[in-house]
Amino acid sequence: MLIHIDDIETFPDHLLQFLTNNFKIFHLYTSENDRLEDLYNSNFEERDLLRNHHNKYKSSLINIIDKLLILIDNFEFSYYHCTKLLENEMEYIKSHGLFPFSYDLSEKKLQFLKESSLIDGLVLDFLRINNHSHNPKGRDGLVFVLNKNSIKNNYGVDKFLKYWGGENIFYFKNNNYNINELSKIGTSSIIKLKFKLGYFLDDFYKREIAFTICNTFYKFKKERELALSGYSQKYEIRLREKIEPKNIIDIVTYSDEEFKTIICCDLYNDLGNYNNKYSLFS
């Protein structure tokens, strides 16, 4: 059974029962969080002291998450990756998988773009000099979200395009004409994937997913977030390894106009202008 983490209707019965059995702790934790926040906001002079106050139900909530991790270890979850792809890249990904980008892969793509007359020699030379796809500071991963709505708006799609996969060439400085030209190459695509929780070796991401499940359930019941300090609700996962073809469900393509509607921004006019930094491309 494939679980969509933002859709409670895809949760199996035994998962829903587990969450229902622990709903009281979710509610107590959130109520205590509200109380502490109100106390902090109403006592300006004592904020330094109040900052050290901790939610007394946090340990109980963490314990629930630990148990939930055991329960969902073999569940399959859906993930989404957003990018722009050439026709040959789509076929390659379907048959060979999705690779974290590297200098060698980027060089092959640059050469293909030049030979196909999709870029000129000036752009080719610029990108070869400024290609940072080998950068060691964590930039060589693949980013996925568990909630496809996270793709929407210019910040969401920009974040995706900062971390494209094996189809990518990476340049992490300010917006540049050569980069903007490349952003027009290829077809806007959303890659749908599936993984078991056990696929993720990093316990941090496993706990993020478990917490997100708790949050989805609580939000469904109470129409508000379950805010746990130390956990994000961006539904974001990063991997630095090849994604096998068996994990790729589909590659859905869109026209530029369709994609602009989906992400709620003008891809070519808005992309890269979020805080006017970081522009990435096909």
pLDDT digits (tens, 9 = 90+) for 82-124: 888 888 889 999 999 988 767 777 788 888 889 999 888 888 8
Rounded CA-CA distance 141/149 in Å is 21
Entry pTM: 0.75
Cβ contacts of residue 190 below 8 Å, gap of 6+? 80, 81, 82, 148, 151, 251, 252, 254
Q: Tokens 């989906």, residue? A: 262
Type of residue numbered 92: Y
Q: In this predicted structure, which of 23-27, 59-63, 178-182, 278-282 has the lowest mean pLDDT?
A: 278-282
Rounded CA-CA distance 106/131 in Å is 8
- How far does Cα 273 stand from its chain's mean position? 19
Distance of CA 265 to CAs 84, 85, 160, 183, 236, Å? 16, 19, 14, 14, 20
